[in-house]
Structure 1
Amino acid sequence: MSLILSVSVFIRLIAMIWALHLWYRVRDWRIGFLGAMVALMALRQSLTLSKKGLGWPPQLSSGMDEIPGLAVSVLALLSIIFLGRMISDERRRSSELIAANQELENQIVRRHKAEDKLLTLSQAIEQSPESIFITNAEAEIEYVNAAFIRNTGYSMEEALGENPRILKSGKTSAETYTHLWDNLSQGKPWQGELYNRRKDNSECIEWSIISPVRESSGKISHYVAINQDITEKKQTEAKINHLAYYNSLTDLPNRTLLMERLNRTLGLLERDENKGALFLVNIDRFKNINDARGHTLGDALLKMLGKRLSELLYDSGTVAHLASDEFAILVPELGLQLEQARHRALIISGKILDAIRQPITIDNEEIHVTASLGITIFPEPYDDEGTILRRADTALHRAKESGRNQSAFFETDMSESAEQRYLIERELRHAVANGELRLFIQPQVDKYGKLVGAEALVRWQHPERGLVPPGVFIPVAEESDLILDVGDWVLSEALQLMAKGDMAGHPFHLAVNLSPRQFRQTNFIPWLKDLLNLTGADPNHLTLEVTEGLVIENINEVIARMSEIAALGVHFSIDDFGTGYSSLSYLKRLPVHELKIDRSFIQDAPVNESDAALVETILAVAEHMHLKVVAEGVETEEQAAFLNARADVIHQGYLYGKPEPMDIWFERWFGEPLA
């Protein structure tokens, strides 16, 4: 075989291998076809050699007859290489086209997401409950949302192109607008309150946030404003603030506002070396009116009194309503000298008392009231508002103790009295907690002197001052919550005493005073039931003494509570009958078993026609209503004879026995010690 033949076979083999390699890589039918053609050519050459019977190695010849085959082999190899390159380029371009197409699809997806986001943002702005509008750099409105249209009353056509000043009410301060534009001119957002006006001229308060919008270059092209209507919120805040500083009934300043103004006035007077006065005004016996005629009339009376005091004072001071029946009047600048200030304060107090004494007509009914006044001049050294108020309150107590319907200036000795009341209250709390209270019993007898019952009374065994009478500490207890603790203690001790008497074979009736505050406690009735069960005392032997004022206030509720207690077997007695507001129409509706005549009527009844007539009237009422009568304060035989001559009356007083400790009383009347 010639050299040309060998080269031809080699080239064909290379072409076939390259073609197979390319076909494997690109998997293209054209490459596979050329490779197959080359393989057939190589096979044909091998068959030709076999037919000639040539062995290996071939014999040398000129090989000229193999030149065409060699050329075809070379051409096939070149074709395969070219075709492979062409297919590779085509695949590369196809890959680039696929990548470009993928990027385009990604861009479309991103654009759709951006459009969705923009749509969501647009919907959020359009559906926002807050008023939103956008202006250009010249402050011309270019966009308003639905809330803006709804809240302002302007349509979109009316708002577009307008300046936001169409919302201006004229009530926003110039300082606010100055601060607003200072911020916006510096490219900063601004927020604050604006007092705006709607299309229908109604006003509103809005919390506004205005922000500049910048272009990519940094230049401000627009402004966006978000306005929240806070009118109702501000009105609510104003109402809450008003309630915090003004009395809800009379709309006068309350204690909090009075103390603030008193503190401010004190500073001004100290600076100017001037004098002022604080008056505390308490309506005399207002509770009786409230109890007798109801809270509606009482409230109307307080309103009219507050108005009358305000008109009296004009703008020269402050009239405050501190409590149900208590007012305060603060008058500054009464003079540089103390005597001058006292003289002017006395003149003012006279005018106050005269104004209150004038009759007041409510529902065609003429009502007459009086008042007690406590006055203090200030400032004094080291004064503060609390000290000033305490001095006026001390003076008020002195005025009330002196007979009411008058005024009293604070004097130094009054401070000592106030300190004494504070000391009693503090020590009484300790006494209740540490068992210093004692139960005393005073007998009640019939006209023959036979024991028919008794009254439970409380005494205070002070570790230093000895036995303290009730007149000293009961008024202090009634002014505080201590009356509840004292009342509960007395009733508990009384029921235990009754139970011991029953166990000893000496049952007796026992009367216990019940304070109005104790009776009104929501848990009083369940507590009483539990106490009766716990002690085992017979409720039929218990009488609760209540005052007329209690049974007249909220009559329906009182009747219901008294009836529930009476259903247990407990009796009720009207204490000090005739000293308060007595109404037979009320009395006949109450589950009352007994009337108790006050000692003030008994003392002079035998010698005083008026007192005698009052006692006889009470006895007649009791007989007509089938009620028992207890006469309190029977101290002489003449008083006892006066009563016995007119009715079957139960007697209670020193003539038959003073209050004694319960164990001594029990042994005296039953002849044996208390177990």
Structure 2
Amino acid sequence: MLVAIVIAASLLSWLFLRADAISPQAHEHYARELRLLRQADAELNAAVLASRVGIQLDFDTIGTATGELHKVVSELEDVPGFLSASDRLQVLNRVAQYRDVLEQKIRQIDLFKREHSVLRNSLAYLPLATDLLIGDDTAPIAQTRPIGIFVRGVMTHAHTADAQLAQRLEESMTKLESIVAQLKGAHQQQMTNVLLHGRVILERKPILDTLTRETLAMPTAALGEELAQTYARGYERASRTAHNYRVSLYVLALVLAGYLALVMLRLAKTSGDLAQANRQLKERIATLDRTQHDLKLYATVFTNATEGMLITDGSGRIVATNPAFSEITGYTTAEMLECSPSMLKSGRQPENFYRDMWRTLDRRGQWQGEIWNRRKNGEVYPEWLSITAVRNQDGATSHYIGLFSDITERKRAEARIHHLAHHDSLTNLPNRLLLQDRLEQAILQSHRVGSHTAVLLLNLDRFKTINDSLGHDLGDGLLQQVAHRCLAVVRETDTVSRPGSDEFVLVVPDIDHPQDAAIVARKVLQTVGRPYLLGDHEITVTASIGIAIFDGDGLTPAELLRNADAAMYRAKAEGRDAYQFYSADMNSASLGDLLLENQLRGALERNELELHYQPKVCATNGRLVGAEALLRWRHPDLGLISPGRFVPVAEESGLIAPIGEWVMREACRQLQVWRDAGMMPVPVAVNLSAHQFTQRKLSSLVEEVLTETRLPAGLLGLELTETMLMRDVDRTIETLNILRDMGIDLSIDDFGTGYSSLSYLKQFRVNVLKIDRSFVNDIHRENTDGKIAAAVIALAHSLGMKVVAEGVETEAQREFLLAHGCDQFQGYLFGRPVPAAEFEKALTARRMGLPGTVLAKLHEDVTSI
């Protein structure tokens, strides 16, 4: 095989070299030199002919052409090597022949140049010598005239081939020579020179013409063509030979390519087989590695798993356990080998439990569930067990694998979570979820035995105040003490729960008479009402209890709790620190409040709200000096509703903020309408809710409303309560200063009914104190006789404030307040709250300057609300 490869490679190389033997560059170069040879020979002939006829005055062109021919011949002697030996020899012989003929031609040209030089010299001097002879004035015309004719003939003869002219010139020459022999002196010499040059021309011209003909007749051109043809024939034979070599090379290459393709196919097949075998080997190795890795992993998992593991044979005898098994059960592997797992039984599960377990294993091949087992030390513990049956190729069970974990802590956590899910985290009492369950059980028990179940809903009075004042920590402590006291006065079968906040629910089942619930309620109120020690404080807290009885007050837990809640609110409404049994009218009132709230939510959109205006008059002359805007709700079904009915509902539901903003905008809008109509309106005061006043942007809202309505700030007044002002004194002072700087009148409404500090009162930039109607009503009552009203007037004047008395309804009240210096009155005696259209009458009367009695008469016919 190696020898065959060497032979094939050598043969390919030899064929390749032979096929590529012809050099295109060498061929082009030799062909170009052949063309130059023929061209240079033609140029040499042309130069000789041009020199003969006188077109070329020198021999430079002849010399250049001769040198070019020598150069080309030398180049042609370097015959291309791709020609065969015989062809190269023929071409070289042709080149040698051409060189010999060329040398002869060059020698002939040298003779031509010598003869031509002599002739050209005579032709140049003959005219000069003739001119010198003819130009001599002493020479006779008889002598000069024949000379002139002769010279002209000679010059003509030099450029023609006329034989007769040459004969005549010879005859003339002979005559002139005879004449010269007779002359003497200078004329003889001059004429001799002319004839001498004429003789040279006549003699040399035939010789030169012969040389020219012979030179041009030399066969250099024919030899050049033969040389070119000889080379062409040799090149053609070399090309055919190279082509044959190329064909042979191509055929051999095809044969080798086919053989190589066959070899490659065999190699590819062998390589594929080898790669397949290699892949299979790698797969086997990888499988072995994975198996080994898996075995190590399984061994690691088996050894390091936190769950206990055991493996038994098909008959249930233990063959292996892991360290976690020993840690959980206390038994070592050596102690358990060949033993049955049944030795771990705790005895808590009945035998049918294990029968069901084995039945499931046989049917499904696995089982998992919670089971109680016993440790080596005798302790019973819960575990989560998973058993899997391992089957052999025949489908028979060969082994069982058990995986279990100790779930003692999980069970404890579940118990804790269950307890937290059903008990209040603060008091550890049942929460709402467990209360629901206990109440349902109590109802079922009462229904079964025909007894009653009482639900007592307890709510601590004013707990929010205590929580806010003393802090949430002490508030939580109070709730814990209340829980302990409630537990102390009820039976073990009763339930005390805390569903949330400061509410407690007591479920008292199996009572014979509803009045037994009252006995429990009194005990609870008595024990809850005892003083509490909270930190450094000893306080007394009361409670209100609502009672609902199954089955007269409800059949479901939800009904009983709802009705007990309604009874509890009735107890609070009637003075607190008491209990109330549920009655049907309680839910009606609560339902009425709920419906009222839902209807109030759309009152603004439905334009059901409106403002009524109650006048304020000067105490001394009774003239109209101001008004208070009072909100009314014109319900489509219930008619006009008083604020005392729906304002608390609005405050509870959070609707008071948008309603308060609407009141301010509507009052300012109406004032601007009166101004545009020329009514000369008086300042109107608007009541602010606590929610509005605590808004951070109250001043921005007021400024926005005044800008939108184009109302001067002096026509708008704001009325605030003492309690509202004292919530955040620093922010209150800041807000009041901003509003006063804007020009807003500020009043403290219902002064004396809340709480305030006189030191802060001096810092509040308010204009007016309004005496609450309760103090005005006290005038002429026993033991009071208006002393509080008189003190308020004196206090306000000492602080530089005006005083407005609300609720003035009798002349006696007016006279008393006037006597003590009250500035303005507001009440039914001077006018009831009326709609805007009715209040315009008061504005008209003020513009007309009517006295206060007439103003009051204008309002006598207005319906009181």
Q: Same fold (TM over 0.5)?
A: yes
Cα pair distance change 1:486/1:136, threshold 3 Å: same
Alignment RMSD: 5.3
Equivalent position SS for 2:839: helix
- Contact residue 808 and residue 827 of structure 2 kept, 8 A: yes
Residue 314 of structure 2 corresponds to residue 143 of structure 1: no
- Contact residue 205 and residue 231 of structure 1 kept, 8 A: no
- Contact residue 132 and residue 227 of structure 1 kept, 8 A: yes
Residue 403 of structure 2 corresponds to residue 225 of structure 1: yes
- 1:338 aligns to what? none
- In 2, distance between residues paired with 1:590 and 1:301? 37
- In 1, distance between residues paired with 2:495 and 2:626? 55
- 1:368 aligns to what? 540
Amino acid at match of 2:452: K
Amino acid at match of 2:777: Q
- Contact residue 597 and residue 631 of structure 1 kept, 8 A: yes
* Structure 1 stretches lacking a partner, 5+ long: 1-26, 33-92, 164-169, 336-340
Residue 390 of structure 2 corresponds to residue 214 of structure 1: yes
* Structure 2 stretches lacking a partner, 5+ long: 7-269, 337-343, 848-865
Cα pair distance change 1:542/1:186, threshold 3 Å: same
**What is the count of residue pairs matched by the alignment?**
559
Give the Å deviation of 1:442.
Answer: 1.9
Amino acid at match of 2:832: K
- 1:387 aligns to what? 559
Q: 2:485 aligns with which of 308, 332, 340?
A: 308
Cα pair distance change 1:482/1:469, threshold 3 Å: same
- 2:738 aligns to what? 567
- In 1, distance between residues paired with 2:826 and 2:440? 53
Give the Å deviation of 1:461.
Answer: 1.9
- In 2, distance between residues paired with 1:531 and 1:205? 73
**Structure 2 counterparts to residues 43-442 of structure 1, below 5 A:** 104-116=281-293, 131-137=306-312, 142-143=321-322, 174-175=348-349, 183=357, 187=361, 188-191=365-368, 208=384, 210-212=386-388, 214=390, 216=392, 219=397, 221=399, 223=401, 225=403, 227=405, 250=427, 252-287=429-464, 289=466, 298=475, 300-322=477-499, 324-335=501-512, 341-380=513-552, 383-429=555-601, 431-442=603-614
- 2:810 aligns to what? 636
- Contact residue 349 and residue 372 of structure 2 kept, 8 A: no
- Contact residue 573 and residue 595 of structure 1 kept, 8 A: yes
Residue 833 of structure 2 corresponds to residue 659 of structure 1: yes
Give the Å deviation of 1:275.
Answer: 1.1
Give the Å deviation of 1:603.
Answer: 0.9
- More RCO (CA 8 Å, sep 6+): 1
Give the Å deviation of 1:671.
Answer: 5.1
Deviations 1:419-473 (A, max 9, x none): 5445544544454442222211223345334545433222222334432223333
Equivalent position SS for 1:313: coil
- In 1, distance between residues paired with 2:371 and 2:348? 11
- Contact residue 141 and residue 161 of structure 1 kept, 8 A: no
Equivalent position SS for 1:567: helix
Q: 2:645 aligns with which of 472, 476, 494?
A: 472
Return the structure number with greater helix share. Answer: 2
Cα pair distance change 1:321/1:103, threshold 3 Å: closer
Cα pair distance change 1:139/1:331, threshold 3 Å: farther
Task: Select between 437-446 and 495-504 the one with higher mean Cα deviation.
Answer: 495-504
Cα pair distance change 1:600/1:322, threshold 3 Å: farther
Equivalent position SS for 1:658: coil
Cα pair distance change 1:597/1:303, threshold 3 Å: farther
Amino acid at match of 1:223: I
**Larger gyration radius, structure 1 or structure 2:** 2
Give the Å deviation of 1:588.
Answer: 7.1
Cα pair distance change 1:136/1:465, threshold 3 Å: closer
- Contact residue 553 and residue 560 of structure 2 kept, 8 A: no
- In 1, distance between residues paired with 2:422 and 2:695? 29
- Contact residue 793 and residue 822 of structure 2 kept, 8 A: no
- 2:627 aligns to what? 454
- Contact residue 635 and residue 654 of structure 1 kept, 8 A: yes
Cα pair distance change 1:215/1:411, threshold 3 Å: closer
- Contact residue 618 and residue 825 of structure 2 kept, 8 A: yes
Equivalent position SS for 1:131: coil
- Contact residue 559 and residue 589 of structure 1 kept, 8 A: no
Cα pair distance change 1:310/1:160, threshold 3 Å: same
- In 2, distance between residues paired with 1:628 and 1:545? 13
Q: Percent identity?
A: 35
Deviations 1:158-199 (A, max 9, x none): 987688xxxxxx9x994599968964785454555689999x
Cα pair distance change 1:446/1:236, threshold 3 Å: farther
Give the Å deviation of 1:379.
Answer: 0.5
Cα pair distance change 1:176/1:141, threshold 3 Å: farther
Q: 1:493 aligns with which of 637, 662, 666?
A: 666
- Contact residue 498 and residue 505 of structure 2 kept, 8 A: yes
Cα pair distance change 1:630/1:211, threshold 3 Å: farther
Equivalent position SS for 1:374: strand
Return the structure number with greater strand share. Answer: 1
Deviations 1:16-75 (A, max 9, x none): xxxxxxxxxxx6999x9xxxxxxxxxxxxxxxxxxxxxxxxxxxxxxxxxxxxxxxxxxx
Amino acid at match of 2:403: A
Give the Å deviation of 1:654.
Answer: 1.9
- Contact residue 278 and residue 375 of structure 1 kept, 8 A: yes
- In 1, distance between residues paired with 2:371 and 2:800? 74
- In 1, distance between residues paired with 2:508 and 2:642? 40
**Given the two structures, how large is their TM-score scaled by the length of structure 2?**
0.52
Amino acid at match of 2:388: P
Cα pair distance change 1:482/1:310, threshold 3 Å: farther
Cα pair distance change 1:103/1:293, threshold 3 Å: closer
Amino acid at match of 1:579: T
Deviations 1:317-364 (A, max 9, x none): 3334456454433222221xxxxx232122222223323332333333
**Given the two structures, how large is their TM-score scaled by the length of structure 1?**
0.65
Task: Select between 501-510 and 154-163 the one with higher mean Cα deviation.
Answer: 154-163
